[in-house]
Amino acid sequence: MPTDFSQPTVTASCWSDDRQVVVESFPVNAVLAEWDDAALRDLLEADFAFDYSTDRLVYEAADYDPRVEHMVRYMEYKREEGVNMGFGCYVRDEEVLAWLQRYRSHLLAPQSS
C-alpha cells in the first residue's frame, strides 16, 4: 500500500457564512490520508459539500493550514459576539474521486444491498 498520499492533489474551499473570510483553495490530502473508510464514505455520501464530514475536514485542516485556522477562529470570535456564524466547505469532487481511485478504490465500488 502506498505511503505517500500527496498525489493526486485534493483541494477544498471554505468560507464563513458572511463571506468575510474565504479560503479559495487548500490541500486536504493529509486529512484524507488519516481518515478511515467510514469517514471517507460519509464524504462520498454527502457529495463532498455542506455536511458534517466537510465540517470535520475544515476543523482538521485548520491544524495545519493557517488560512483555514483563521476562518475557524473568525467564526468562533463572531459566535462569542453573539452572532450565529457558521461556514461552508466544498471538496473538489473530481480530485477526491481520483484520489480515492488511487488509494481506496474499494470505496467506489457499488455497494450490495
Q: What cell was used for 111? A: 455497494
pLDDT band per the 50, 70, 90 thresholds, residue 46: confident
pLDDT tens track for 2-32: 567 878 899 999 999 999 999 999 999 999 9
Report the pLDDT value the prediction gives residue 113, as an integer from 0 to 100.
52
Rounded to whole angstroms, the Cα distance separating 77 from 1 reads 42
Angle in degrees, CA 23, 55, 63, rounded to 5: 65
Q: How much is the mean pLDDT over the chain?
A: 91
